[in-house]
Chain A
Amino acid sequence: MLVDYYDLESLLTEEQHMIRDTVRNFVESEVLPIIEEHNQAMTFPRELVPKIGSLGLLGPTLPEQYGCAGLDNIAYGLIMQELERGDSAVRSFASVQSSLVMYPIFTYGTEEQRMKWLPRLASGGAIGCFGLTEPDFGSNPGGMITNAKKTSNGYILNGAKMWITNGTIADVAVVWAKVDSDSSKSIRGFLVERGMKGFTAPEMKGKYSLRASVTSELVFQDVELPEENMLPGVAGLKGPLSCLTQARYGIAWGAIGAAMACYESSVDYAKSRIQFDKPIGGFQLVQAKLAEMLTEITKAQLLVYRLGTLKNEGKMRPQQVSMAKRNNVDMALQIARIARDVHGANGILGEYPIMRHMMNLESVRTYEGTHDIHTLVLGEDITGIAAYT
């Protein structure tokens, strides 16, 4: 079943169709049967990584010479949508690897760095993470404390990062740090490798959200980095922020997947659950909920389809991504909450995907720029007056 009220299907190319269907089949047969168990046990379905890699879902928009598929941005969005229809944790894994690790290595790295990491990251043979947020610097990343001190042949890295998806299992971390200064203009990206002396990545425990995802701290204590581990192509906050624009683009699509799963389950439930001698889908209050869900999903779909077209044409602005991320994640979370009502008591059971998506989306709402920060991004874009501080 497709949630496609406005026939967006007919706007897709044959390749985009095939890609969407392939990922959908993959999620139906490989992700959905195991995800609830991982969610309950709070374990990452690592067995999926080689499969995700061999399908070509990692760094799919990058060129073929690095082992990638060279897809357009709508195809990339559809991949994110389908993965998150399975679970936000699986989409988060792929988002981080593609947009926050492979993208900066491709965009700001040397050819040696690209050749060393991109093919392995594309195949799933290596896992990557992205270290920007710190315990005391979330919405204000420019205040970061993590720093790199220039030495004769490289850098000494000190500091800590927090809320890092894939951290504990990563072979390479793209870490942003200030170099010999307090100014955010001195921020550079570094490739910190697993096993480097002084680098540890303990996993954060006790989450009620994204339970099938690894979330970690990264701790750097006098980590010696050779010069060739610095990403030479960018300096300042625009480095990490440009990566986040890529990731948020994928999140805006992904959230639709989670919303579709909640909506589809709600329609099925409403049509089969009998109360007062008729399906609850025959009552006005339930119909209003379903109508609201479908309308919001359709609006969100139109938003990202147009955003994808702009991105393909090289015309997409980060503020437009903020609007889509802000709207679509909020939309998905509201739908998950309404779906929970439609399902009654059953809505809290793992047998249905509702509560899992709802709890996941609570994270998605505040990661990669909180809902409120994206509101301020739009506010600044409208008025020309920044209201962050």
Chain B
Amino acid sequence: MNIIVCVSHVPDTTTRINVGADKKSMDPAGVKFILNPYDEFAVEEALRLRDKFKGEVTAISVGADNAKEAIRQALAMGADKGILVKGDKSDSFQVADMLAAAIKPLSPDLILLGKQSIDFDGMEIASMLSELLDLPAATVAVALNIEGNKATVEKEVEGGRETIQLDMPCIVAAQKGLNEPRYPSLPNIMKAKQKPIQEVSGAPGAKRTEIVEMTKPEKKRANKIVKIDGNASQAAHELARMLHEEAKII
């Protein structure tokens, strides 16, 4: 089975993000990057399927040079080779367009990816790839079973689960719960260095979105404990006064 996994290089969930000087991008200084957590489920699933059906897992990423780290992480988990498509990844359609162009000639049996990347959180790539490659897609997958040329996917829907069947080749976007991703073992981390990463330049169509401005969420206000003397009625009056005059929220 020829499996493609799309991986994204994203800021660590615990890292502190600052907006860059242009107010349209993230300031990368001091930011720790990781393999997108949802993509880890995709990589794990790909490795399990490869071990079951034989074949090859190719990890592909769109981004700058440092996106190779995400590919390398997938290789350290056990993927066989990598492709870095060099390009800007701020517009979902461009990313999908560049991915589709790189994936198409490889004619994979299965394309796996995380349901979303935790940087831009667009949740659009799986559906866009489906359209661009003319392949069926299942999003938010929590179980995947392949028999013959059919893929059965259990996916989360509002308030429950839905089981759908897709013809292969197809696209499956992983949700947490699909599996328990492995840790890359130290020998595999060392071997990852020897695995090939092919670099290509992306040539996407025009952008469909433009980042106008990035801002940080407003700081949470400090909590305050106030002591109010008097009985319940007096306390309620005083509290109402403070909320009105000091906090100015009523």
Residues of A within 8 A of B (CB): 1-2, 14-15, 18-19, 21-22, 25-26, 54-57, 60, 64, 68-71, 75, 79
Interchain residue pairs A-B with the least CB separation, the first 6: A56-B186, A69-B186, A69-B187, A56-B185, A18-B189, A56-B187
CB neighbours of A15 from chain B (8 A): 189-190, 192-193
Bound-state CA distance A19–B73 (Å) is 10
Using an 8 Å CB-CB cutoff, how does the interface string of B55-97 with A read, 1 for contact, 0 for none?
0000000000000010011001000000000000000000000
Complex: chain A residue closest to B12, CB-CB: A21
B179 to chain A, nearest CB (A): 15
- Apart from A2-B32, A22-B76: 16 A-B pairs, beta carbons within 8 A: A14-B69, A15-B190, A15-B193, A18-B72, A18-B76, A18-B189, A25-B183, A54-B185, A55-B185, A56-B185, A56-B187, A57-B186, A69-B189, A69-B190, A70-B190, A71-B190
The answer to whether A55 touches B193, judged by C-beta atoms less than 8 angstroms apart, is no
B184-202 CB contacts (< 8 Å) to partner A? 184-190, 192-193
* A1-B14, A15-B193 as given contacts; A60 in contact with B186, CB under 8 Å: yes
* Interchain CB contact under 8 A, B14 and A55: no
Give the shortest distance, in Å, between A140 (CB) and chain B (any CB): 37
A234 to B80, CA, bound (A): 43
B17 to chain A, nearest CB (A): 14
B14 near A19 with CB under 8 A, answer no
Give bound CA distance, A18 to B192, whole Å.
11
* Residue interface mask B23-63, A partner, CB < 8 A = 1: 00000000010100000000000000000000000000000
Chain A residues with Cβ below 8 Å from B72 are 14, 18
Distance (Å) between the CB of B193 and the closest chain A CB?
6
Given contacts A14-B69, A14-B72, A55-B183, contact A22 B14 (CB under 8 A): no
User: In the complex, which of the residues B69, B189, B193 contacts A22, with contact meaning CB atoms closer than 8 Å?
Assistant: B189
A26 touches B183 (CB 8 A): yes
Determine the chain B residues whose CB is within 8 A of the CB of A57 once the complex forms: 186
Chain B residues with CB under 8 Å of A55's CB are: 183, 185-186
**B184 contact set on A, CB distance < 8 A:** 18, 22
Q: Which residues of B contact A (CB under 8 A)?
A: 14, 32, 34, 69, 72-73, 76, 183-190, 192-193
Set of chain A residues within 8 Å of B190, measured between Cβ atoms: 15, 69-71
> By the criterion CB–CB under 8 Å, are B186 and A22 in contact?
yes
* Residues of chain B lying within 8 A (CB to CB) of residue A18: 72-73, 76, 184, 189, 192
Instruction: Given A14-B69, A14-B72, A18-B76, decide whether A71 and B186 contact each other with a Cβ distance below 8 A.
Output: yes
Cα distance A261–B140 when bound, in Å?
A: 36
CB pair B187 A19 closer than 8 Å: no
A-side contacts of B76, CB under 8 Å: 18, 22
State in angstroms the CA–CA spacing of A320 and B185 once bound together.
31
21 contacts between A and B (CB under 8 A): A1-B14, A14-B72, A14-B193, A15-B189, A15-B192, A15-B193, A18-B76, A18-B184, A22-B183, A25-B183, A55-B183, A55-B185, A55-B186, A69-B185, A69-B186, A69-B187, A69-B189, A69-B190, A70-B187, A70-B190, A71-B186
Instruction: Give chain B residues whose Cβ lies under 8 Å from the Cβ of A26.
Output: 183
Please tell me if the beta carbons of A19 and B183 are within 8 angstroms of each other in the complex. no
Give complex CA distance A25, B77 in Å: 14
Enumerate chain A residues within 8 angstroms of B187, measured Cβ to Cβ. Answer: 56, 64, 68-70
- In Å, the complex CA distance between A106 and B190 comes to 21
Cα–Cα distance between A342 and B193 once the two chains are bound (Å): 44
Determine the distance from Cα of A19 to Cα of B32 in the docked complex, in whole angstroms.
Answer: 15
CB neighbours of B185 from chain A (8 A): 54-56, 69
The docked-state distance in angstroms from the alpha carbon of A350 to that of B105 is 57
Question: Which chain A positions have C-beta within 8 A of B14?
Answer: 1
Max chain A Cβ within 10 angstroms of own Cβ: one of B73, B183, B184: B183
Inter-chain CA distance A208–B147, complex, in Å, is 56
By beta carbon, the residue of chain A nearest B185 is A56
> How many Å from the CB of A275 to the closest CB on chain B?
13
Q: How far is the CA of A54 from the CA of B187 in the complex (A)?
A: 10
Determine the chain B residues whose CB is within 8 A of the CB of A71 once the complex forms. Answer: 186, 190
With CB as the reference atom, state the residue of chain B lying closest to A75.
B186
In the assembled complex, how far is the CB of residue A320 from the closest CB belonging to chain B, in whole angstroms? 26
Chain B hits for A21, CB < 8 A: 34
In the complex, how many angstroms separate the beta carbon of B28 from the nearest chain A beta carbon?
14
Nearest Cβ on chain A to B148's Cβ, whole angstroms: 33
Nearest CB of A to B30, in Å: 10
CA distance A19 to B21 in the complex (A): 33
Please give the distance in Å from B70's CB to the nearest CB on chain A.
11
Contacts of A56 in B (CB 8 A): 185-188
The listed residue with most B CB atoms (<10 A of its CB), out of A22, A54, A64, is: A22
Residue numbers in A under 8 Å from B32 (CB-CB): 2
State the CA gap A68–B72 with chains docked (Å). 20
Assembly CA distance A378 to B188 (angstroms): 40
Shortest CB-to-CB span from A95 to chain B, Å, is 16
Residue of B nearest to A9 (CB): B32
Query: For A1, what are the chain B residues with a Cβ–Cβ distance below 8 Å?
Result: 14
Bound CA–CA A26/B192 (angstroms): 19
Question: Which of B32, B186, B189 lies at the interface centre, i.e. has the most chain A CB atoms within 10 A of its CB?
Answer: B186
Which residues in A have their C-beta under 8 angstroms from that of B188? 56
Q: How far is the CA of A381 from the CA of B187 in the complex (A)?
A: 38
CA distance A25 to B34 in the complex (A): 12
